A = this chain, B = another copy of it.
Amino acid sequence: MSSDLEYISAVDARRLATDILLALGLSSGHADSIARTVVLAQGDECYSHGLWRLLGCVHTVRMGKVDSRAVPAVDSSAPGVVKVDARYGYSLLAFREGLPELIGKASRLGIAAMAINRCYHFSALWPEVEEIAESGLVALAMTPSHSWVAPAGGIRPVFGTNPLAFGWPREAAHPFVFDFATSAAARGEIELHGRAGKPIPKGWAIDSDGEETTDAARALQGAMLTFGGHKGSALSAMIELMAGPLIADMTSAESMAFDGGAGAAPCHGELIIALDPKIFLGGGMGEHMRRAENMFAAITDQGARLPSQRRYAARARNRERGLPVQTALLAELRETLASLS
């Protein structure tokens, strides 16, 4: 595999990504916020959220679903809530525009929420909770997606893959961050198994009769399952509710209907909750944050990994040598840029 990779600097990668997005017609704010995120993911070796995403972006923009120049509108009128209307643009610029208000409110009140509405999903949630945690706050983020996942005890899809992400600030280390889908597996993983002619593991999906299946095609026609049985299913329902109706946005079933079979990125809402330890802890903050460090040590001292630990190790590794990019992908991205220019 390593012979298929080459290394480019983060600056070059960001330039390439930005140039493609600008050539595609995105406003500079959208181009910048997306380029920043895909380059971060590439450097962390989260390839499925890295530069590869730009190709999907070209597809989605060409379909005309997403407004590539949408200007997010920030409404801070509720004391503890920031509402950002993404106006059918990508989510990342809306996040960026609302973030200072979210941090400001949480720092004054102790806790605050940000609701991003009418956005097209872009990338994972970990870059967002990581950034909030880098500001010293605790963050929780969630979104619905498209209804591919059956509730526990059911056979027809209701929920999305509904990710949940969490970030915790650490003084002398990268934030503690996790970001997981509440489905047992990613939909893309099932598709990849299908293309490779490989059976999928049990527990990922059921067929349209509700029977457990290891056949990728039957799984995609049936329903995916949540992780962790009825507990994962409950969690997925919570995400539907809090990042859907609570913030005046669509559930996964509504978002899928809205898509109308186009297969675009899900259009939906996102809820982010931020909490400020300084307000909770005051002068005792140092002492209490050390309790958290003791817990992290109790995990890592026995050889278990913290979530995101592998990602941070990749980031450190790639800081000097540059970002690993598949040679074929890099060529495709350069061709895409040439064809757009």
- Which residues from chain A sit less than 8 Å from chain B, CB to CB? 78-81, 83, 108-113, 115, 138, 140, 150-156, 158, 164, 166, 168, 176, 178, 180, 182, 227-232, 234-235, 237-238, 240-242, 244-248, 250-251, 253-254, 273, 275, 277, 279-281, 284, 288-289, 291-292, 294-295, 298-299, 302-305, 307
The answer to whether A79 and B109 touch (CB under 8 A), given A138-B242, A307-B230, is yes
Task: Tell me what chain A mostly uses at the interface: helix, strand, loop, or mixed.
Answer: mixed
Contact of B279 with A244 in the complex, beta carbons under 8 Å: no
- The CA of A182 and the CA of B227, in the complex, are separated in Å by 13
- The CA of A21 and the CA of B132, in the complex, are separated in Å by 46
Q: Give the residue of B152, B281, B304 whose beta carbon is less than 8 angstroms from that of A304.
A: B152
Contact of A303 with B241 in the complex, beta carbons under 8 Å: no
User: How many copies of this chain does the complex contain?
Assistant: 2
CB distance from A250 to the nearest CB of B (A): 7
Contact of B298 with A158 in the complex, beta carbons under 8 Å: yes
Q: Which B residues are CB-close (under 8 A) to A299? A: 151, 154, 158, 237
The answer to whether A228 and B230 touch (CB under 8 A), given A110-B79, A178-B238, is no
Q: Which B residues are CB-close (under 8 A) to A288? A: 245-246, 248
- The CA of A250 and the CA of B290, in the complex, are separated in Å by 11
- The CA of A302 and the CA of B147, in the complex, are separated in Å by 15
- The CA of A246 and the CA of B140, in the complex, are separated in Å by 14
Contact of B232 with A158 in the complex, beta carbons under 8 Å: no
Q: Which B residues are CB-close (under 8 A) to A230? A: 180, 307
The residue in A112, A113, A237, A250 that gathers the most chain B C-beta atoms within 10 A of its C-beta is A237
Q: Which B residues are CB-close (under 8 A) to A245? A: 277, 288-289, 291-292, 295
Q: Which B residues are CB-close (under 8 A) to A254? A: 291
Q: Give the residue of B154, B235, B279, B295 whose beta carbon is less than 8 angstroms from that of A241.
A: B295
The residue in A153, A231, A289 that gathers the most chain B C-beta atoms within 10 A of its C-beta is A231
Q: Which B residues are CB-close (under 8 A) to A248? A: 280-281, 284, 288
Contact of A275 with B110 in the complex, beta carbons under 8 Å: no
Q: Which B residues are CB-close (under 8 A) to A280? A: 78, 81, 83, 113, 115, 246-248
Contact of A295 with B251 in the complex, beta carbons under 8 Å: yes
Q: Give the residue of B112, B284, B291 whose beta carbon is less than 8 angstroms from that of A111.
A: B112
